[in-house]
Amino acid sequence: MDILKYIALIDQAINENESEIEGLDRAIGDGDHFINLKRGITTILSMTDQLSTMTVSEQFKMIGMKVLSTVGGASGPLFATFFLEMGKHIPDNKPSLQIIAEAFSKAVAGIKQRGKSDVGQKTMLDVLIPVAAKFQELASSNMSTQEIASDINQFAIDCAHNTKDMLPSKGRSSGLGERALGHIDPGAKSCQVMISAVCQHIQGE
C-alpha cells in the first residue's frame, strides 16, 4: 500500500476542487476548511523521506501524530484520528481488500467517537459511515477491485450530494438552521473528493 502515492493524488484532487470546497465552507462553515486540508496534505508530503523507511502501520501512525499537531479547525483532530486508527488496524504485510475495508471502518468509527457525531447531522460522517459500510459489503463480494472502486466512487458522490437536504446539528452550521439547506456539507464534499481520487486511480489500474 503506497500511502504517499494516494496522498499525492488526493492533493491534486483537492486543488482541483478548491473553489467548490471553499465556497461551501464560506456559505455554511468556518471558512478555514480548505486551508486546513492543504496544511495537512502539505505536511504529509514533506515527510516523504522519513515515511519511506517505515512500515505501513508506522506511516499511518506518524501521519496521524503530525496531522494532530499541525492541522487546526474542527476537522484536524478528526483526520488525525482516522490515520491513527488505520495505523492500529492495518497489518504491515500485504493486506487483503477485506482487511483494508475493516481497518477503514474502524478508523471511521474512531472519527465518530472523537467527533461525537453520527449519520444525518450534515457532517463528513454522512459520507464516511455509509462508504465504510459499502466498502465492507463489496470487499466480501466477487466483484473485481476496479468494479468495487467504481461503485464506491459513485456512492460517495451520492452520499455527499444527499447532505444538501439535511439540517445541520453539529458545528458552526448548526446555528444556520434551514439556511444551510441546499448546500453540500464542506466536510462531506472534501471526504468525497478524497475517496473519489483514490477510487478513480484504482479504476484506471
Question: pTM for the complete prediction?
Answer: 0.94
| pLDDT for the residue numbered 30 | 82
For residue 205, pLDDT over 90 is answered with no
Q: How many Å from the N-terminal Cα to the C-terminal Cα in the chain? A: 14
Each residue of 128-169: pLDDT tens digit? 999 999 999 999 999 999 999 999 999 999 999 999 999 988
- pLDDT band of residue 118 (cuts 50, 70, 90) is very high
For residue 171, pLDDT over 80 is answered with no
Distance CA 193, CA 189 (A): 6
Q: What is the mean pLDDT of residues 171-175?
A: 70
Residues 6 or more apart whose CB falls under 8 angstroms from that of 87 comprise 57, 58, 59, 60, 61, 64
| pLDDT for the residue numbered 172 | 65
Mean pLDDT (the chain) is 94
In total, the chain counts a number of residues equal to 205
Q: Domains, the chain, ranges and CATH? A: 3-204 (1.25.40.340)
Distance CA 99, CA 85 (A): 13
Each residue of 35-79: pLDDT tens digit? 999 999 999 999 999 999 999 999 999 999 999 998 877 889 999
| pLDDT for the residue numbered 72 | 77
Q: What is the mean pLDDT of residues 96-111?
A: 97
C-alpha cell at 77: 483532530
